[in-house]
Structure 1
Amino acid sequence: MPVWRFDAIGTLWEIETEAPLSSGLRDGVTITIARFDQEWSRFRPDSLVSALRGGGTIDAPRDAVPMLDAYRDLARATNGAVNPLVGAGLEALGYDPALTLRDGVPEAAPSGWERMLTWSSSAVSVHAPAVIDVGALGKGRLVDLVVDVLSDVPGRVIVDASGDLRVRGGTARVALEHPYDPTSAIGIAEVTQRALCASAVNRRAWGDGLHHVLDARTGLPVRTWAATWALAEDAMRADAVATALFFDGGAELARRWGVDWVRMATDGRVERSQGFAGELFLS
C-alpha cells in the first residue's frame, strides 16, 4: 500500500492508503498541520499560545473548546498532575523553544489553573503570565484533524504521527514498543476503526533522568510508570489517557471515557484494562 512519509511538528508522519493521495489531499493535510502548529506550538514565537505568555486574550482557535474541555477532565481526574499550564515547567528543565535540554530547577505549574486560563468558543484568555503546552493531547487532536481531511478516501487509511495513530476503514496490528529496548515489543494491539496512542519516558528524554512527562504539581518527571498505551474511538482521547495513566486517577478516567489501555511500570510490571484488544508478552 502507498505510504506518504513526511516530517511535521518535529516528528515523522506516515499516512498509508490503498491508492496514492492526490496533490489536493496532500495540500489539505499540509495546511491543516501548519494551521494547528501556528496556533498551538509553544516552540514558535509567532504562535497564538506564544502571544499569551504574558497574559491577554486571543480569538479562540477552533480546537480550543474540545482540547481545553478535555484538559479540565484530565486535571480533575489526576488532581492537577496534568494541566495545560505545564509549559513553564518543561522550559525550566530545558525543553524550551531553543531545546537547551539543560538540568534546570523544577518549576510547578501555577495552582488554580482554571482561574488563570479561561476559554469559550469565541476567546481564550490567560489572566497572568503562563506558558500553555497542549502536549498531553495535542498531537492526538491533530491526527484526528488529518483523518477528517481524508474522510472521502476509500478503503483503509492509517495516519501515524510517531506513536499516535488512527485507523479508519480496517484493522492494523501494532507492536507495543518496549520502553527500554526499542528493538523488542511487550505485546501487539489490534486497532480496528480506533486510535492507539503511546507515551514513554525514553522519548524526548535528556540529562539525568529528565523527560517530557512532568507532574505539573511539582515540575518533576514521573518515576513510577515507564510507558503507556491507550485505545479509543478518537486519537485525542487516546493521547490524553496515555498521559493520564502516568498518574493516580488515569485508569478511572479511561473507564469513564471508554478507553482501553496498557501501562508498564519502571520495575517491569505490566497492567492492562480488561477490554484491551491485543496480546501481551509480559505479565
Structure 2
Amino acid sequence: MPHPGWQGFRFDGIGTSWEISTPAPLPPVLRSSVLAEVERYDSTWSRFREDSLVARIAAAPGQYELPPEAAGLAALYRQLYTLSGGAMTPLIGESLERLGYDPQYSLRPRGEAAAPPAWDAVLEWHGTSLRTTAPVVLDIGAAGKGQLVDLLAEQLGSHGVPEFFIDASGDLLNGSTEDGGQEPVQVALEHPYDATKAIGTVPLGSGALCASASNRRAWGDGLHHVLDGTTGAPVRTVVAAWALADTALEADALATALFLVPAEDLERHFRFSWLKVFSNGSAEYSAEFEGRLFT
C-alpha cells in the first residue's frame, strides 16, 4: 500500500493484476464502472481474444472505426515509429505471433524472426479511423496498459476521488485531482535478472512511472516480447528501462522506446526522465532522474 491507512481495490484485467489505492474505499458503483472500462478496453484492443476488434482487423482488410482513445495511440505510435526508423510499430503483433507469443500462448516459434509490414504499406490510421489493405495484427502493448491506467484515473477524477495510486503490475500512476501534487512514493526498481531483488529506488511524485524489461514475457531460447520492428527479432542490448512522465500512456510507450531509440533523440520530443540497463550490466540515466541505484 503506497500510503498507510489507504484502501486497496484489487482485480485482474487485460491479462495482469491491478490495485487502485485510495484514502477511502471506492463505492460499489465506481468499482463496477472501473471493471466495465477495463473490459471495454480489452474487448477492443486485445489480440488474445477472438471477439476483439483487433481480432476482426486481423481477419480481413477494410475500414474500421475505433473508440476515442485510438487518436492518442495513433499520434504517439506514429511519432515513435518515425523516430525509431520503424523499430517501434503497432504492427509488431505478427512478428510476436511468429515467435510463439500468440493468442494460444503456444510459445513455440513458427519460423525465424521476420519484420512486420511497413506502416504505410498496409495501414492508414488517422484519429479513430483505421483502414487496412491487408490483414494485420495490431499490438499496442507497448502503450496500451499505460493508456488504460490514464483512462481509469479519469474515471476516478470524474467521480470525485481526490487522490489515488494505480498499480498495474508495475506501471504506476500517483494521481491527484487537487492542486499541490502528491506525496512521493518510494518505488523499488526490479532487478532485470532476479525479480526478488531491486537495483535501486526512485521517488514517484505526481505522475507516472512505467517499466519495460526483457525478463517479463520471456520464453524459449532467449526470446522475449520487446522486438525490433525492422527485424522482428528481440532486442539484445538493453534489458530493462524505466520512464517517468506526466501520463502513464507516455511513460509506458517511452519505456519500450528506450530499447529502440537513443534516449537523447527521445528527449528532443518528450518531457520525461529515464533509466535504462544494458545486457553488460551498465546503466544510463537522464540528468533529471531522481532515483538511487544500489552499488
Give the alignment's TM-score, normalised by structure 2. 0.92
- Find out whether 1:142 has 2:148 as its counterpart: yes
- Find out whether 1:86 has 2:86 as its counterpart: no
Aligned length: 281
Written as runs of structure 1 = structure 2, the 5 A alignment for 1:77-156 is 77-105=83-111, 106-111=113-118, 113-151=119-157, 152-156=159-163
- Find out whether 1:57 has 2:70 as its counterpart: no
Q: Which residue of 2 aligns with 1:29?
A: 34
- 1:18 alignment partner, one of 23, 43, 59: 23
- Find out whether 1:161 has 2:168 as its counterpart: yes
SS in structure 2 at match of 1:128: coil
Q: Which residue of 1 aligns with 2:261?
A: 248
- How far 1:3 sits from its partner (Å)? 1.0
Q: Is the 8 Å Cα contact of residues 71 and 128 (structure 2) preserved in structure 1?
A: no
Q: Which residue of 2 aligns with 1:280?
A: 293
- Identify unmatched segments of 5+ residues in structure 2: 1-5, 177-181
SS in structure 1 at match of 2:240: strand
One-letter identity of the residue aligned with 1:79: G
One-letter identity of the residue aligned with 1:104: R
Give the 3 Å change call, closer, same or farther, for CA 176–251 of structure 1 in structure 2: farther
- Find out whether 1:223 has 2:242 as its counterpart: no
In structure 2, C-alpha distance between the alignment counterparts of 1:122 and 1:278, rounded to whole Å: 38
CA deviation map 1:98-122 (0-9, x unaligned): 00001332121112x1342212345
- Find out whether 1:200 has 2:193 as its counterpart: no
- How far 1:279 sits from its partner (Å)? 1.5
- Find out whether 1:173 has 2:179 as its counterpart: no
Q: Which residue of 1 aligns with 2:250?
A: 237
Identical-residue share of aligned pairs (%): 48
Q: Is the 8 Å Cα contact of residues 228 and 263 (structure 1) preserved in structure 2?
A: yes
In structure 2, C-alpha distance between the alignment counterparts of 1:65 and 1:117, rounded to whole Å: 15
CA deviation map 1:102-161 (0-9, x unaligned): 1332121112x1342212345211111211100111110011001111114444311111
- 1:41 alignment partner, one of 19, 36, 46: 46
In structure 1, C-alpha distance between the alignment counterparts of 2:294 and 2:216, rounded to whole Å: 22
One-letter identity of the residue aligned with 2:292: E
One-letter identity of the residue aligned with 2:275: V
Q: Is the 8 Å Cα contact of residues 262 and 272 (structure 1) preserved in structure 2?
A: yes
- How far 1:278 sits from its partner (Å)? 2.0
- Identify unmatched segments of 5+ residues in structure 1: none
Q: Which residue of 1 aligns with 2:204?
A: 191
- How far 1:263 sits from its partner (Å)? 0.5
CA deviation map 1:42-76 (0-9, x unaligned): 11111111111121111121111110110011111
Q: Is the 8 Å Cα contact of residues 77 and 249 (structure 1) preserved in structure 2?
A: no
Q: Which residue of 2 aligns with 1:71?
A: 77
SS in structure 2 at match of 1:125: strand
One-letter identity of the residue aligned with 2:42: D
SS in structure 2 at match of 1:71: helix
Give the alignment's TM-score, normalised by structure 1. 0.95
Q: Is the 8 Å Cα contact of residues 186 and 281 (structure 1) preserved in structure 2?
A: yes
- How far 1:163 sits from its partner (Å)? 1.7
Q: Is the 8 Å Cα contact of residues 241 and 250 (structure 1) preserved in structure 2?
A: no
Q: Which residue of 1 aligns with 2:11?
A: 6
